[in-house]
Copies of this chain bind each other. A is one copy, B any other.
C-alpha cells in the first residue's frame, strides 16, 4: 500500500526490528533433517552477509552431529568458512547449556573449552538453553561466553502447563539477566506461543526488567499462528525476531523472512532488510531445496492439534515408529493422551531435546505395559533430578520407584556438580584415535560424539559428502513424480526382473 493511503505512523521514523536468519541452521535442521551441505550454502553467503540481518544463525544445534555423522564434514571448518564468507555479520549458534552439542552433561572445564574454541573460530552470539529451563544448567556456559567477550543470550524454552505463567517466565528472565546475559531469547520450539502470551511475556520482561533488556523471539511455524505472535511480540517491544528465507520455511520450520518484511510495511516498525538480496537468497535455496527432497519433513501445512498434545511434530513420528516396532501401530491416540499425564508426573518439563524423547518414550511404555510398570533409564534419571530441576514437583511415588529401580539417590544439586574434571582424559582418548589432529577442536568432537568421532577422524581426509541429489537426479525425480504436479517429459529407466531375467527397461510417453 503506498504511503498516500495509510495515515502517517505515530512515530516519525519506524522502529527497526532486527532479524536473525535461520536458513543456515535451524531451517534446514527442521525441514531437511540437518542434511544441507556447506557447498550448497556458500553461494548465498555474500547476499546473506549484506542483507542487513541482526545475526545469522549458522552453527550448533544438530548441525555438528550431522556434519560428522552424515556429511564427513569438519564442523569447525564449516564455522571458519562462514566466518570468512560473512565478515560483516554476527554469527550465531544454539548451545544446549551444560550438554553443549552432545547428549550428556559435561564437566565445567569442557564447557569452558568449547565456548573458547567456538569464539576463536569465529562465533559471535551464543544462544544458550536448557531443556528443563533449569538456569543452573546454562550458568557456566554464559559465564564462559562473557569471559571471551562474546554475546551471551539466555534462553527461556516456552511451554504451557497449569504452573507456567507470564510471571514465572519474567522471573526466569530476571534470573538469566542476573547471570550477565547480553540478551534474552523466548524459544518456541513447538509453535505453541500464541499471540497473547507472546505479547504478555515480552511486555512483562520489558516492564519488570527495563525497556533496554534485549528480547529475541524464536518461533517455529508448525501451528500456522506464530507470525501473528511475532507481530504481537514486536508490538510489546521485542528487539529481534527469527525467520527463515521463504524457500526453506513453514511446516515444522519457521515463518518466512519476506512475509515478516511485508507484515511490517506501513506499521511503526521496519526490518530495513534489503529486498533484492532477499530475492537472491530465496532463489538460491529454492534451487537447492529439491536436492534434499528425500530428507524433507512430511509435514506441510499446519498441525494445530499440537496445542492439545503439546507434542512437536518430529516426536509424533518417533512414537509412531516405536509403536509399529512393537506391533502396536494402532495405539498412537492412547499415547498422545498419555504424554500430558507423564509430563505432569515429571513436573511439567518443556518438551524439547532431550526431554521430549524421554517423556515420549515413557508414554509409549505406559501404554504398552501399563502405567509405570517399567521406567526407562532416562525417565528414572529425569525423576531423580539428574537432568536438573523441573518447575513442578515430581510425583513422589514414581521418584521412589525410580530410586528402587536404579539404586541411585535423588539429587538436588546441579547435575554437573557431581562430575570430576575430564578434559585431560578426553584429550588422551581423542589424541589416540587414528586421524585425530591433536587440536582442542578434535578433542571436543570426540567428547561430544565418542561413538562417531573415531570413524569421522579416519575418513575425514576423503572430504565432505553431499548427500543431496545432483541436479540431473532432481530433474528425473521431479519428472517421474506421480503426484501429477510435473508431467513426465523424458524417459524413465527401470531395472525389471521378468521370469528371472533382469532387463533394463525405458518407459516414456508415446
Q: Which residues of A does B touch, CB under 8 Å? A: 1-2, 4-7, 160-162, 164-168, 194-197, 200, 223-225, 227-228, 231, 246-247, 249-250, 255-256, 258-259, 261-263, 265-267, 279, 293-296, 298, 300-305, 307, 477, 480-485, 494, 496, 498, 503, 505, 507
A162 partner residues in chain B, CB cutoff 8 A: 2, 4
Q: Is the CB of B228 within 8 A of A161?
A: no
A252 CA to B109 CA, complexed, in Å: 53
Q: Which of B2, B228, B247, B304 contacts A301 (CB 8 A)?
A: B247
Q: Mind listing 10 A-B residue pairs with CB under 8 Å? A: A1-B160, A2-B160, A5-B160, A5-B167, A195-B266, A223-B262, A225-B262, A296-B485, A481-B481, A482-B482
Q: Is the CB of A194 within 8 A of B256?
A: no
Q: Which of B165, B231, B477, B496 contacts A231 (CB 8 A)?
A: B231
Copies of this subunit: 2
Q: Is the CB of A4 within 8 A of B165?
A: yes
A34 CA to B199 CA, complexed, in Å: 39
Q: Is the CB of A246 within 8 A of B197?
A: no
Q: Is the CB of A294 within 8 A of B5?
A: no
Q: Is the CB of A498 within 8 A of B507?
A: no
A296 partner residues in chain B, CB cutoff 8 A: 483-485
Q: Is the CB of B302 within 8 A of A225?
A: no
A197 partner residues in chain B, CB cutoff 8 A: 1, 5-6, 266
Q: Is the CB of B166 within 8 A of A263?
A: no
A503 CA to B194 CA, complexed, in Å: 57
A161 partner residues in chain B, CB cutoff 8 A: 2
A167 partner residues in chain B, CB cutoff 8 A: 5
Q: Is the CB of A263 within 8 A of B164?
A: no
A5 CA to B193 CA, complexed, in Å: 12
Q: Is the CB of A485 within 8 A of B298?
A: yes
Q: Which of B194, B266, B304 contacts A194 (CB 8 A)?
A: B266
Which 3 A-B residue pairings sit nearest by Cβ, starting from the closest?
A294-B484, A224-B259, A196-B266
- Since A1-B164, A249-B302 are in contact, a sample of 13 more A-B pairs with Cβ atoms closer than 8 Å, ordered by chain A residue number, is A4-B162, A6-B200, A195-B263, A195-B266, A196-B266, A197-B266, A231-B231, A250-B301, A250-B302, A258-B302, A262-B307, A477-B484, A496-B507
A194 CA to B279 CA, complexed, in Å: 19
Min distance, Cβ A437 to any Cβ of chain B, angstroms: 36
- A225-B227 in contact given A1-B160, A194-B266 (Cβ < 8 Å): yes
In the complex, what residue of chain B is closest to A261 when comparing beta carbons?
B304
Q: Is the CB of A196 within 8 A of B265?
A: yes
Q: Which of B166, B224, B305 contacts A5 (CB 8 A)?
A: B166
Q: Is the CB of B225 within 8 A of A259?
A: yes
